[in-house]
Amino acid sequence: MASKDQPIVIKKVVKGGGGGHHGGAWKVAYADFVTAMMAFFLLMWLINTTTPEQKRGIADYFAPASVSPANSGSGAPLAGTAPGDDGVQGSGDSSMRQRLAPSAPQLNDRDRQQTPEGSPESPDEIQESAAQVMASAMAEAQARRDAAQLHSAAMSLRQAMQDMPELAELSNHIIVDETPEGLRIQLIDQEGRPMFNPGATEPTDRAITLLRAVARIAERLPNRLSIAGHTDSAPSTGGSYTNWELSSDRANSARRVLQTSGISNDRIYEVRGKAGSEPLYPDDPYMPGNRRISIVLLREAPVLPRGHEL
């Protein structure tokens, strides 16, 4: 009976929820971290660009000149010396300031010899040096960005050849590589499947398909294009119409297809014919693969539109 009379106690445990991943406090902390890192790298860059003499000058500027370095006298800031000790018409408290103020650093002959020639000394020279460093950094960043764009274009072209059935069977006709000039795309002949019929200057249907695919990729980039035609070393049968004229006309025909596919006229840098002077297979100059069209997306700043000035 005693156990039945005991009250029933129900304990409820309420679990407190945390801030959750939707809280914004981490964003503030991350922003403070990024700001501190920017300030740190800016400080490192300024320290690296200043000379030892300028560093000493900055240190002297921030030195606590208003605090007396002596402990004599009454221990006051004036070290027990009254401002009027030098007389009303004398230097007075100015003499105290001169005694307490830090002296400018003096360079001896050894320091002058160790100072690099041409180091910036005036604010204008410091600003000019900083501008040169920033320009160099911007040029390096631009070069890295251009290289990334060309690499992305090469990957896009290879992916397009895999995604498009009409290009998949033509993959043996195209070679994509990166050269010091830029991204080079070469459309080459295969045995029995030429890009141009023998002696003809107009591209075949398969060559037009490849040229249109190249134009779709190149249209996304600002780089100018260099187009060159190549032949094998077999002599031309056209009499005075040599392989030089034939390769030039074929390159010009490729240029027309690219422009009708979306490449603007100011994107064309040059069109040239090289005949058989640069064979793709030097060991066999008569090999069909030497007959080709090479298109290079140049590694350079894009051409500015008319009326635009830096």
Domain ranges in the chain? Answer: 143-298
Is the pTM above the cut of 0.85? no
Residue 13, pLDDT score: 63
Residue 260, pLDDT score: 94
Q: How far apart are CA 152 and CA 261, in angstroms?
A: 20
Residue 253, pLDDT score: 96
Decide the pairing of beta strands 268-273 and 225-230.
parallel
Q: Are 225 and 267 in contact (CB under 8 A)?
A: yes
Mean pLDDT by 10 residues, the chain (310 residues): 66 58 73 89 82 76 54 48 46 47 52 49 67 72 71 71 69 84 90 89 91 87 92 83 94 96 94 94 91 90 47
Give the residue among 220, 224, 208 at the shortest CA–CA distance from 256: 208
For the chain, the distance separating the N- and C-terminal CA atoms, rounded to the nearest angstrom, is 100
Which CATH code of 3.40.50.300, 3.30.365.10, 3.30.1330.60, 3.40.462.40 fits the domain covering 143-298? Answer: 3.30.1330.60
Q: How far apart are CA 32 and CA 38, in angstroms?
A: 10
Give the residue among 154, 156, 204, 158 at the shortest CA–CA distance from 183: 154
Residue 21, pLDDT score: 53
Q: How far apart are CA 296 and CA 178, in angstroms?
A: 9
Residue 89, pLDDT score: 43
